Structure 1
Amino acid sequence: MSQASDYQPAWLLHSRPYRETSALAWLLTLEDGRINAVVRGVRTKKSRYRPLLQPFTPLLVRLSGKQDLKTLVGLEATSAPHWLNGEALVCGLYANELLSRLLLTSQACPVLFRDYSLLLQLLSNADQREPALRRFELSLLDHLGYPLIFTDNLGQPLLEEGLYRWLPEQGFLAIKGVTEPTSVTYTGASLLAIADDNWQLKLTRQTAKALTRQLLAPLLGTKPLLSRQLFLQMKKPSLK
């Protein structure tokens, strides 16, 4: 845990009103991982923290307290916010929701912090958005103890021409007698492309999305993701 006098890089994941003038903030910090903190007086018009405490703004924060709920006693912005709109904004909110729901508090995650920071840089680039989001999901799964290992359940290398199904606690199981992928099977070629960070083919991107969704589902439980519902609403055709 960082000392109370130290500033450290952080991102705001979510906040909500607390008492009359304060807020509760969910922060992702470089040194301490996810932290819950009270920000006193931030909802008053005179608060100098008010314009800074926004999602997607690179921050330096100073925290105090030895309990699970810290107090934010220092806040600075290190540069301008990442201005996200449309699909990029929803993807950012999705990443924040995953971190808020799945990370335990006060567990350092410097690699995940780096990958989240990189994700925010790339979300506004339509060509980079989907690969960046998949890399972030894989980084999160790795941090949570569910790394994606690109071998079959017997420890053998995946074959490009093979078809595989993912089974919890077993890994990739080779499917015999089937030649075409389905909604629950993945081609070896696509899985190897993910392992090589090669996102050129649409099938690779579709495979990564289906696979990360399958791995995240049991961790998220039955409560729906608000960001996913927002994305579906955004994609609905306008009735005019």
Structure 2
Amino acid sequence: MASKRFHDEPAYVLHRYDWSESSLILEVFTRHHGRMAIVAKGVKKPTSNFRPILLPLQPLRLSFGGDAEIRNLKAAEWVGGHVMPTGDALLSGYYLNELLMRLLARDDPHTALFDAYGVAVQVLASEHGEALQPALRAFELLLLREIGLLPLLDVQTMTFEPLQPEGRYSLVAEGGLRQSQADDRASLSGAQWLSLQQSLQPGAPFTATLRACAEVLNGLKPQLRAVLHYHCGMATLHTRQLMMDLQAL
């Protein structure tokens, strides 16, 4: 029986592990097959054609095969389109990769999320610093929605009561969207949640969610952080801790 082969699959490298003195195991996010593990044999050799290509945050097309959990890389091509992010944008890209590594099961495709990730990485590489935080919050929302961890943002989760535009509501990991105190800083108004829900409608572009997030950054960030940390099972993600350590220098 012939082993499965995948040709010219759009992909991004999320993480790399040493497998031997000359080879790597790659965790990749593919458009049609989700997160996968691929072994790249001999890629660490100076003569390898794959060595300058298999980098994170770069759009690739990969060909690979095999029936085991870890497939074998056959070919890799850099698609181009943007340069590698640098500085805070680079760390932010690694943060997105860590979220995908922790929250996506292997071999579970999410084509809409893959496309959103591609746009988010382009924003990070664009050197428009004012768009960095909105892009991160937009991707966090889309990730939670795609894996079924984001409740509807136009009703209270436990009661299904519609949100009142002037009311205040908080998103919590264990209870969804619920009414909060007027002075709760980690909350948004009903009108703001409704705007976010509208930006997440099927077919809406990533930029629509980005713009909606840009209007509510201060209140949205701590709520999404708490929800993500809860589902990741840790108080602080490694990339976020690295950001905080660098800022403290």
TM range (shorter): 0.7 to 0.9
TM-score, normalised by the number of residues in structure 2:
0.85
Matched residue, 2:192: 190
Matched residue, 2:130: 127
TM-score, normalised by the number of residues in structure 1:
0.88
3-state secondary structure, aligned to 1:7: strand
The Cα RMSD (Å) is 2.0
Please tell me the residue identity of whatever aligns with 1:180.
D
For 2:27 and 2:168, the matched residues in 1 are separated by: 41
For 1:97 and 1:221, the matched residues in 2 are separated by: 13
Matched residue, 1:148: 151
String of CA shifts for 1:21-75, please: whole Å, max 9, x gaps.
1001000001111010100000000000000011111100011111111111111
String of CA shifts for 1:107-160, please: whole Å, max 9, x gaps.
111011001000011113212211211111111111221123111132222122
3-state secondary structure, aligned to 2:76: strand
Matched residue, 1:117: 118
3-state secondary structure, aligned to 1:6: strand
Kept after mapping to 1: 8 A contact 2:82/2:122: no
- Runs of 5+ in structure 2 lacking a partner? 199-208
Kept after mapping to 2: 8 A contact 1:56/1:82: no
Matched residue, 2:74: 73
For 1:199 and 1:83, the matched residues in 2 are separated by: 24
Please tell me the residue identity of whatever aligns with 2:26.
A
- Runs of 5+ in structure 1 lacking a partner? none
Q: What percent identity do the matched residue pairs reach?
A: 29
Aligned length: 231
Worse overlay, 90-99 or 142-151: 142-151
In structure 2, do the counterparts of structure 1 residues 40 and 191 end up closer, same or farther at CA, with 3 Å as the change threshold?
same
Matched residue, 2:102: 101
Please tell me the residue identity of whatever aligns with 2:185.
T
Q: CA deviation at 1:210?
A: 1.6
Matched residue, 2:47: 46
Kept after mapping to 2: 8 A contact 1:181/1:187: no
3-state secondary structure, aligned to 2:11: strand
3-state secondary structure, aligned to 2:49: coil
Matched residue, 2:232: 220
For 1:105 and 1:200, the matched residues in 2 are separated by: 32
Q: CA deviation at 1:3?
A: 5.1
